[in-house]
Amino acid sequence: MKPITKEVYLKWYEDMQFWRKFEDKLAALYIQQKVRGFLHLYNGQEAVLAGALHAMELGGKDKMITAYRNHVQPIGMGVDPKAVMAELLGKVTGTSKGMGGSMHIFSKEHGFYGGHGIVGAQIPVGAGMAFADKYFETGGVTLTYFGDGAARQGSLHEAFNMAMNWKLPVVFICENNGYAMGTSVERTANHTDIWKLGLGYEMPCGPVDGMNPVKVAEAMHEAMERARRGEGPTFLEMKTYRYRGHSMSDAQHYRTKEEVEEYKKIDPITQVLDIIKENKYATDAEIEAIDQRVNDLVAECEKFAEESPFPEAQQLYDVVYEQENYPFIPHRL
Ligand SMILES: Cc1ncc(C[n+]2csc(CCOP(=O)(O)OP(=O)(O)O)c2C)c(N)n1
Ligand SMILES: [Mg+2]
């Protein structure tokens, strides 16, 4: 595995701070009704992404697919955060020209394949992407993410079976954040060790501390190397936590404030900052400079998104129909 150096810790701190502040800004814009529809934020789960990115080969070779909690993953993979924020505001400069919105961020170029609102639907799609990589011998690995709620969907079992049978280069990652909307993991099944679902398929599997990017990076590296050797899939259960509600309209009656505070004691960003301070990887002034950069970039994204225009109505026709099939439509892609 690539060594976890001072530079990696500093990058993790800056990235995770940016992701958190980016989401906080979206929450504020949602309250102003500038973001419409649903809005699911990633606060608390950042280490699962930071650690995975450390193990991945970016630039389109390795791929990622996830559910609707999907704003910061593409940013981590290199998509311009300004375009992501513009997408959420429905602007033409967005990643899908403003037509995907919060739950459907995509960038094929960067290897990010969404952004899926149907719980569990992306699990077989991720296996299919890995099938393509195997078929075309690209050497790429697909990271297929889903929640603890999605783990109870039947589609997981079909995907697990085929992925094992064909030894597909895929890593299945359950982000167990404790809840599926308001339903706790304890209430969804008679067992809480979701990783054990891999055992029935003899798939290598196990739990990972999803609040610690080092643990995530190590587990992901091992799984991705296994996939690259042609030995097939791995199933990892990342034990994590979401600090905000499921989406923006969630009174959170299903958990206590004390529980949230307990998990804030193991906040992934604080864990990384503590290591930076203990090892004197940065002075207080340097940390302040990082925080300033983060705030400036969030402000830049907001300005860009706010100032961008909404798409023209005509765009609806441009991207839905092919002119050859529908000659009465004057424009084409
Ligand atoms: C097939 C389907 N059933 C139900 C829903 C409604 N729904 C949206 S999110 C969600 C909870 C999923 O929880 P989990 O998989 O743990 O992901 P998390 O939100 O915690 O990231 C449900 C039931 C849906 N979108 N799709
Ligand atoms: Mg969940």
Tell me the per-residue pLDDT of 123-144, one tens digit each, with 9 for 90 and over.
999 999 999 999 999 999 999 9
Q: Which domains does the chain have, with CATH numbers?
A: 6-308 (3.40.50.970)
Q: What percentage of the chain's residues is helix, strand, coil (to nearest 5)?
A: 45, 10, 45
Q: pLDDT (tens digit, 9 = 90+) per residue, 28-53? A: 999 999 999 999 999 999 999 999 99
Distances from the Cα of 285 to the Cαs of 52, 202, 280, 292, 293, in angstroms?
29, 51, 12, 10, 12
2 exposure class (CB count in 10 Å sphere: 0-12, 13-18, 19+): exposed
Q: How far apart are the C-alpha atoms of 114 and 103, rounded to whole Å? A: 8
Nearest CA residue ID for atom 6, ligand 1: 119
Q: What are phi and psi of 281, to 5 degrees?
A: -75, -20
Task: Give the pLDDT score at 332.
Answer: 47
Q: Is 149 in the pocket of ligand 1 (CB under 6 A)?
A: yes
Q: Max alpha carbon distance in the chain (Å)?
A: 67
**Cα–ligand 1 centroid distance for 147 (angstroms):** 8
Measured in Å, residue 68 CA sits from the centre of ligand 1 at: 9
pLDDT the model gives residue 20: 98
What is the spatial distance between Cα 209 and Cα 216, in angstroms, rounded to a whole number? 7
Indicate if ligand 1 lies below 6 Å from the C-beta of 148: yes
Q: With left for phi above 0 and alpha for psi between -120 and 50, is residue 138 left, alpha or beta? A: alpha
Beta strands in 31-186 (DSSP E): 63-65, 142-147, 170-176, 179-180, 183-184
CA neighbours closer than 13 Å in the CB half-sphere of residue 4: 20
| Confidence (pLDDT) at 317 | 79
Closest-CA residue to 141 (of 69, 218, 53): 53
Q: What is the pLDDT along the chain (333 residues), one digit of tens a residue?
A: 999 999 999 999 999 999 999 999 999 999 999 999 999 999 999 999 999 999 999 998 999 999 999 999 999 999 999 999 999 999 999 999 999 999 999 999 999 999 999 999 999 999 999 999 999 999 999 999 999 999 999 999 999 999 999 999 999 999 999 999 999 999 999 999 999 999 999 999 999 999 999 999 999 999 999 999 999 999 999 999 999 999 999 999 999 999 999 999 999 999 999 999 999 999 999 999 999 999 999 999 999 999 999 999 988 877 765 656 655 555 544
- Tokens for 226? 């296994």
